């Protein structure tokens, strides 16, 4: 219930006024059955705009820290993400990564929509960075189609470091679904992920960087 209240009453109208979202290719998203929505990542607010424009309910794997905070702000975050039906996962790597992929698989096996930013973190400069292979590994294991999505303008509505959103123009473009055969070879997921990210870069008109965005952040801060 809370998911739809957020979408149509509490948050959705505000997001529409702020970003005036323009959407194309929404007919590519299957109306039923499991589907993976794979989008570039420009701003924290990206997930809200994806949920706003997709007619089906969308589930993200939210980092566990959103559910373990303390104080008034921590309790509010925990309530918000729980009420919105998001799934907490440990994203520290190792066995935690396997748990996250298992959670995504369960969403798809239940016929749901799993939305993911394959870059793993926000782009530091708007370019498209190398993607993590988890998205394609899950696609190959479940047979769920992958819908490539290009977001633009969300970083203007929700600039990095800004506490308050701003008015802007958000554009969201959904590409045709991609289907992947089961593959045991790890390099198959790597190659398919690289192809997906290069497609997002080409469709967005942004440069592709063959390095992880998280690595870029670390190098910039050192």
pLDDT by residue (tens digit) across 109-133? Answer: 999 999 999 998 999 999 999 999 9
Reported as a single tens digit per residue, the pLDDT across 143-164 is 999 999 999 999 999 999 888 9
Q: Is the pLDDT of residue 219 over 60?
A: no
| Domain presence at residue 13 | no
The answer on pLDDT for 64 being more than 90 is no
Residue 217 has pLDDT above 60, yes or no: no
Give the residue numbers spanning the domain of 47: 1-7+20-220
pLDDT in the model for residue 96: 63
15 occurs within a structural domain: no
> Has residue 158 been placed in a domain?
yes
Q: How many domains does the chain have?
A: 1
Residue 92 has pLDDT above 70, yes or no: no
Asked whether residue 182 is assigned to any structural domain, the reply reads yes
Mean residue pLDDT of the chain comes to 90
Q: Is the pLDDT of residue 6 over 80?
A: yes
**Residue 68: its pLDDT value, please?**
81
Task: Indicate the pTM of the whole model.
Answer: 0.90
Q: How many CB atoms lie within 10 A of CB 151?
A: 24
pLDDT digits (tens, 9 = 90+) for 13-42: 999 999 999 999 999 999 999 999 999 999
Band (222; pLDDT cuts 50, 70, 90): very low
Task: Establish if 179 belongs to a structural domain.
Answer: yes
Please provide residue 38's backbone torsions phi and psi, each rounded to the nearest 5 degrees: -115, 115
Residue 190 is predicted with a pLDDT of 93
pLDDT at 221: 46
Residue 84 pLDDT > 90, yes or no?
no
- Indicate if the pLDDT at residue 94 is higher than 50: yes
pLDDT at residue 57, rounded to an integer: 95
Residue whose C-alpha is closest to residue 212's, from 191, 189, 194, 188: 194
- How many CB atoms neighbour CB 181 within 10 A? 9
| Residue whose structure tokens are 């396997």 | 98
- The 3 state secondary structure assigned to 88-131 is EECCCCCHHHHHHHHHHHHHHHCCCEEEECCCCCCCCCCCEECC
In this structure, are strands 113-116 and 128-129 parallel, antiparallel, or unpaired?
unpaired
- Greatest Cα pair distance, the chain, in angstroms, is 47
Residue 14, domain member (yes or no): no
């Amino acid at each position: 219930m809370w998911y739809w209240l957020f979408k149509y009453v509490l948050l959705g109208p505000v997001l529409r006024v702020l970003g005036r979202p323009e959407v194309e290719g929404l007919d590519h998203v299957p109306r039923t059955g499991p589907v993976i929505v794979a989008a570039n990542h420009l701003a924290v607010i990206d997930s809200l705009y994806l949920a706003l424009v997709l007619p089906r309910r969308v589930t993200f794997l939210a980092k566990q820290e959103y559910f373990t905070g303390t104080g008034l702000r921590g309790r509010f975050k925990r309530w918000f993400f729980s009420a919105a039906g998001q799934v907490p996962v440990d994203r520290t790597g190792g066995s935690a990564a396997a748990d996250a992929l298992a959670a995504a698989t369960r969403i798809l096996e239940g016929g749901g929509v799993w939305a993911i930013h394959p870059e793993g973190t926000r782009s530091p400069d708007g370019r498209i960075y190398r993607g993590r292979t988890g998205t394609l590994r899950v696609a190959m294991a479940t047979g769920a189609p992958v819908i490539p999505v290009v977001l633009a303008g969300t970083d203007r509505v929700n600039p990095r470091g800004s506490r308050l959103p701003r008015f802007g123009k958000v554009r969201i473009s959904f590409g045709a679904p991609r289907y992947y055969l089961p593959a045991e070879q790890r390099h198959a997921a790597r190659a398919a992920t690289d192809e997906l990210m290069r497609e997002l870069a080409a469709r967005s008109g942004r440069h592709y960087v063959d390095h992880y965005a998280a690595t870029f952040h670390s190098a910039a801060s050192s």
